[in-house]
A and B are shown apart, each in its own frame.
Chain A
Amino acid sequence: MSASRVPATRPTTAPEDERAALAHTWRERSGSLGLLFSVDHKTIGKRYILTAVVFFLLGGLEALAMRIQLARPEGRLLNPDLYDQIFTMHGTTMMFFFAVPVMLGVGLYFVPLMVGTRNVPFPRLNAVGYWFYLAGGLLLYGCFFANRGPDAGWFAYVPLSGNQYSSGHGMDAWVQIINFTEVSALIVAGSLIVTIFKQRAPGMSLNRIPLFVWAILITMIMIVFAMPAVIFAAGSLNSDRSLGTHFFNPAEGGDVLLWQHAFWFFGHPEVYIVFLPALGIVSSILSAFSRRPIFGYTAMVLALVATAFLGFGLWVHHMFATGLPQLGQSFFTAASLMIALPTGVQIFCWIATIWGSRPRWEPPLLFVLGFFFTFLIGGLTGVMLASVPMDLQAHDTFFVVAHLHYVLIGGAVFPLIGGLFFWFPKVTGRFLGRTLGFWSFGLLFVGFNLTFFPMHELGFHGMPRRVYTYAPDRGWNGLNLAASVGAGVMGIAILLILINAIRSARHGKPAPGNPWGAETLEWATSSPPPVYNFARIPVVRSLSPLWDGPDGIGVVTGLPTDKRELLVTHPLDAVPSHREEVPGPSVNPFILSVIMSAGLIGSVFSLWWILIGAVLSVPAAFAWYWTQEAP
């Protein structure tokens, strides 16, 4: 069958003058000021990814600090105050500023390419999303470096996070930070949901959507339904702190568990918001390297949907120790076990895909195999935690810390790095160093397991999480030392990947349009893709168009080259519906974001800033609307 797999790259072929015209029409503002005008989904996506990587490094450095502190009993590096800030920063950074945004970025960059369109439907709004994310990050680290960082943990349980026990601006800032990230996530969700429903290449009916795109679509829908819970939670915590409301104050009819319900109703879906896109990445890599479509497409899609659906029904498994009624708890145990099934089915389908395909041993594949190994362990410990009696022992111990890193790093970071090696050629036009790739995988895999496997044991030895130190006679010393050494090894691995990326971006081996002989549309254009993505919008007739032989892909002719026009298609069968013009570069998103961010950030110090921000954003909104016309 490989015979029929002549890489079909016709969508990039078009007369020179036509391509020049497109390049002119879709160009970004040049010059350093032009950066504030960008509205191209690839630019914004790259910004999300790069910023998220920076935050990952910061979070990682915080992790190293924690590991040094815990390497020996009675550690002296950090005092309790600083340790509390650091693990809170670590969790907040990794969850809200690395894991979710990096997935948003990957989605923003690749979804339009994979569905064969030229930009997201609301490019300017999309730009606002990124600016908000950036502002949130600056606020978070501004506070931290002023030694006023939040220190109540990444889920900030009340009343500890209330102003009676966490006075000072750290927690106020944390609340606003959550608002920033949720706004940016919702904006991206809006952009991508509409992109996926309305801008798919002609012929890409529902049953021909790449699994990665399905994963992103479902994730974005989860965002729409999960974020409101944290909007509510953060809002009420904020007003409890600064307006004297009583949502969480038992004395006045409030309740401390209301926070936990609201937070985890968002918080559990959150972890799948991180996880599902990673599954999409795994599918993309596996089909490319085993050179066949993922086995059981329908089952895979249904599994994703089921996971998302069930994901909203098990938030209470984070609250077993609060002594809710037995029966209710058993329900959430059952739900948590049930979710193992769709995940399992996907794993089985991937194995069936690999079966006998003799996949090519390249770094991306290795990281996917690493994903199988580590995520499986994390998933199984998750199932252990889902059992109430078991959880009442393991809850808030390092066993949970082990679980969450096995699933987050195994389930999200390994696929992400695999994706990095997989898509780097597409984004930069150059390969990442292969040998260095093998080395960084080996080190990361060993370092990871050395760091986090002992933590299971530590949990059973009764070591609680979030302790800044421990007594020497507890029998925890050896395991902690092992974990700390492992963290160092991970650090080296990350450093290698960093160096590899920086070097290869300049001097890497040049990559053709479709270096891996993969099947989805992002490979049908040049590497890196032109600003207009495709000289001509592709038309597809199967799930893997690039494997359909020479004429596997048709093209759409007759779209104007002098206007930023998108081809809009029918949400179900993707037959062309009409053409729509989208706005081009503009500084308004930046201005509006600055004003609103100033309002939110200011509100940390005085609520009047909210009002000021609101008032100022009125003229900004006018300006925005006035300059709506595409240039």
Chain B
Amino acid sequence: MRRALVLLSPCALFAGCRYATLDRATPEGSRITDLHWFMFWLFGAVFFAVMGSLAAALMRRGGVFSPEGERRRSAAVIWGAAVSCVLLLVTLGASVWAGREVATPTGPDTLEIRVIGHQWWWEVRYPAAVAAQEFTTANEIHVPVGRAVRFLLGSDDVIHSFWAPNLNGKKDLLPGRSTTESFRVERAGTYPGRCAEFCGYQHAHMGFVVIAEPPERFDAWLAGQRRDAEEPSNETQRHGLAVFLSGPCVTCHTIRGAGAFGHRGPDLTHLASRSTIAADTLPNTTGHLAGWIVDSQRLKPGNRMPPNLIPSGDLLDLVAYLRGLR
């Protein structure tokens, strides 16, 4: 049914339209989509009704004043107002109902994930009962399919907004306040997300991805992330680690188990396990990594990581090491 509506909708006029935000993978999202189409058709009708009567008013001839005509006119206006009243009440009802539906019931088995916004990347923490099992990652959020997830949102600098269009509405990350957002993903897959509140130069490149996977794969991922960083396995990588530790990198980046404890940039412990770098801006490949490290300002102007003058030999080893951080 919804498919049909989709096809009928005006955007069918526009070529190459992927239903980015209206194809929803969560019950919350689906309710919003329903509401969307409900309003679309209701207000479409209102629009054509009003425009129709305007056209009629213009066509109509011989509007000589007569008490009778006056009475008919006021009746029409009053009717219009009355109908509008009803429609507005219906809209209110639908909206409030959808609002309820969107508020995900979160039980004891709810997975809690802490997301902290930075200019212009996302710090993602997975709390755990045992402190040793807690870990931090960046820009890539894994969630289990079919289980409610609650995000505890906060900001380290300015206001950002957490938005995964296919999963649920957006919620701001406010400095000095804590907000939450929750949903339950029903379809495994990779869903784009991004920062929706203007937050400075690179607001345009502050994306993230939500990867929903079956519980067992998710648990495997958790286990992997909880481990310390991969030991350098060969000479090149060992030298790469040395470069990293001797360079400025350590002042900003953490690599658990490798003696780097910086906090101003993303945690790199399992960098290689991520599909993108710089907040969903570049694919995570050797070339992009090298380019990023040497001059991230060219790739993402204004971002908070300074360029680094590293001899090309060292650079290759460094990248080789980072690529090894599975």
Question: CB–CB under 8 A between A and B in the complex?
Answer: yes
Binding site for B on A (CB under 8 A): 1, 79-81, 84, 152-153, 157, 159-160, 165, 250-251, 254-257, 292, 295-296, 299, 321-323, 326, 329-330, 333-334, 337-338, 340-341, 344-345, 347-349, 351-352, 354-359, 369, 372-373, 376-377, 380-381, 383-384, 386-393, 395-397, 454, 457, 460-462, 464-470, 474-475, 477-479, 482
Q: Across the interface, do B77 and A345 meet the contact criterion of CB distance under 8 Å?
A: yes
Closest to B76 in A: A352
- Residue from the list B43, B81, B172 in contact with A380, Cβ < 8 A: B43
Bound Cα distance from A352 to B69, whole angstroms: 10
Report if B175 contacts A (CB, 8 A).
yes
In the complex, the answer to whether B99 meets A341 with C-beta atoms within 8 Å is no
Nearest residue in A to B280 (C-beta to C-beta)?
A: A471
21 CB < 8 A contacts A-B: A152-B198, A254-B176, A255-B176, A256-B174, A321-B196, A326-B99, A330-B96, A333-B96, A345-B80, A345-B81, A351-B53, A369-B58, A381-B43, A389-B35, A389-B95, A389-B99, A390-B36, A393-B32, A395-B196, A396-B198, A461-B17
Separation of A347 and B84 alpha carbons in the complex (Å): 12
Q: A330-B96, A373-B51, A478-B16 are in contact. Are A157 and B204 (CB under 8 A)?
A: no
Further pairs besides A355-B57, A355-B60, A356-B61: 13, Cβ < 8 Å: A1-B65, A292-B65, A321-B161, A321-B170, A333-B96, A387-B98, A388-B99, A390-B39, A461-B18, A461-B21, A462-B192, A475-B17, A475-B20
Q: Does B248 contact A (CB under 8 A)?
A: no
Contact B57 A348 (CB under 8 A): no
State A83–B19 Cα separation when bound (angstroms): 28
Which bucket holds chain B's interface residue count?
Answer: 35 or more
A323-B179, A392-B170, A395-B170 as given contacts; A79 in contact with B301, CB under 8 Å: yes
B3 at the binding interface (Cβ < 8 Å): no
The one of B21, B54, B177 in contact with A257, judged by C-beta atoms closer than 8 angstroms, is B177
Q: What's the least CB distance linking B158 to chain A, in Å?
A: 4
From the candidates A338, A348, A465, name the one contacting B88 in the complex (CB within 8 A).
Answer: A338
**In the complex, B22 has a CB within 8 A of chain A:** yes
B307 lies within 8 A of chain A by Cβ: no
B157/A322 in contact, CB under 8 A? no
CB-CB under 8 A from B76, the residues of chain A are: 348, 352
* Residue in A79, A387, A396 with the greatest tally of chain B CB atoms within 10 Å: A387
A345 neighbours in B (Cβ, 8 Å): 77, 80-81
How many angstroms between the C-alpha atoms of A258 and B50 in the bound complex? 40
- Whether, in the assembled complex, B92 has its beta carbon less than 8 Å from a beta carbon of chain A, the answer is yes
Docked complex Cα distance between A454 and B158 (Å): 31
Residues in B21-80 with C-beta less than 8 Å from chain A = 21-22, 31-32, 35-36, 39, 43, 46-47, 50-51, 53-54, 56-58, 60-63, 65, 69, 73-74, 76-77, 80
Cα(A165)–Cα(B103), bound, Å: 34
Chain B 214-246 per-residue mask, 1 if CB under 8 angstroms from chain A, else 0: 000000000000000000000000000000000
Residues in A neighbouring B58, C-beta threshold 8 A: 354, 359, 369
Q: How far is the CB of B183 from chain A (nearest CB, A)?
A: 12
**B residues near A468, Cβ cutoff 8 Å:** 204
B167-200 interface with A by 8 A CB criterion: 168-172, 174-177, 179-180, 192, 194-200
- Of the listed residues A80, A377, A457, the one surrounded by the most CB atoms of chain B closer than 10 A to its CB is A80
Known: A352-B73, A478-B15. A460 touches B21 (CB 8 A): yes
Interface residue from A251, A384, A460, A464 paired with B196 (Cβ < 8 Å): A464
* Contact with B20, one of A356, A386, A390, A461 (Cβ below 8 angstroms): A461
Q: Give chain A nearest CB distance to B226 CB in angstroms.
A: 30
For B194, give its contact among A152, A330, A388, A464 (CB under 8 Å).
A464
Chain A nearest Cβ from B43, distance in angstroms: 4
A477–B18 alpha-carbon span in the complex (Å): 12
Contacts of B17 in A (CB 8 A): 457, 461, 475
* Beta-carbon contact of B165 and A462 below 8 Å: yes
Complex formed: what's the CA distance from A49 to B311 in Å?
Answer: 62
Q: A80 and B202 in contact (CB under 8 A), knowing A462-B21, A478-B15?
A: yes
Collect the chain A residues with CB atoms within 8 Å of residue B19's CB. Answer: 460
Q: Which residue of B lies closest to A384 (CB)?
A: B39
CA distance A44 to B61 in the complex (A): 43
In the A-B complex, the 4 residue pairs with the smallest Cβ-Cβ separation, listed nearest first, are: A250-B176, A392-B169, A356-B63, A387-B95
Cβ of B17 to closest chain A Cβ, rounded Å:
7
Q: B84 and A340: CB pair below 8 A? A: yes
Complex: A474 Cα to B19 Cα, angstroms = 11
Residue from A257, A295, A358, A386 within 8 A of B73 (CB atoms): A295
Q: Are A80 and B204 in contact (CB under 8 A)?
A: yes
Residues of A within 8 A of B172 (CB): 321-323
The answer to whether B176 touches A393, judged by C-beta atoms less than 8 angstroms apart, is: no
Whether A460 and B77, one on each chain, are in contact in the complex, defined by CB atoms closer than 8 angstroms, is: no
C-alpha spacing A153/B196, complex, angstroms: 14
Contact yes or no, A387 B35, CB < 8 A: yes
B11 near A: Cβ within 8 Å? yes
**Cross-interface CB contact of A340 among B15, B88, B102, B176, cutoff 8 Å:** B88
Q: B257 interface residue, CB < 8 Å from A? A: no
**Given A322-B179, A338-B88, A376-B51, is A356 in contact with B200 using a C-beta cutoff of 8 Å?**
no
- The residue in chain B whose Cβ has the minimal distance to the Cβ of A340 is B88
Inter-chain CA distance A250–B85, complex, in Å, is 42
B175 touches A352 (CB 8 A): no
A354 contacts across to B, CB distance below 8 A: 54, 57-58
Bits for B97-133, please: 1 = Cβ < 8 Å to A, else 0: 0110011000000000000000100000000000000
Instruction: Name the CB-closest residue of B to A292.
Output: B65
A25 → B minimal CB distance (Å): 43
Assuming the A-B contacts A376-B47, A393-B169, A475-B16, are A256 and B81 also in contact, with contact meaning beta carbons closer than 8 angstroms in the complex? no
A296-B77, A345-B77, A460-B21 known; A337+B88 contact, CB < 8 A = yes
Q: Is B212 an interface residue (CB 8 A)?
A: no
B159 within 8 A of A: yes
**B residues near A460, Cβ cutoff 8 Å:** 11, 19-22, 36
| B77 interface neighbour in A254, A352, A359, Cβ under 8 Å | A352
Measured between beta carbons, the chain B residues less than 8 angstroms from A355 are 56-57, 60, 63, 73
Chain A residues with CB below 8 A from B80, complex form: 344-345, 348
B residues less than 8 Å from A338 (CB atoms): 88
Asked if B61 and A389 sit within 8 Å, CB to CB, the answer is: no
Answer yes or no: B247 CB below 8 A from chain A CBs: no
Asked whether B306 is an interface residue with its Cβ less than 8 Å from the other chain, the reply is no
A469 contact set on B, CB distance < 8 A: 204
Contacts of B77 in A (CB 8 A): 295-296, 299, 345, 348-349, 352
The closest CB in chain B to the CB of A252 belongs to B176
Q: In the assembled complex, which residues on chain B have CB atoms less than 8 Å from the CB atom of A84?
A: 200-201
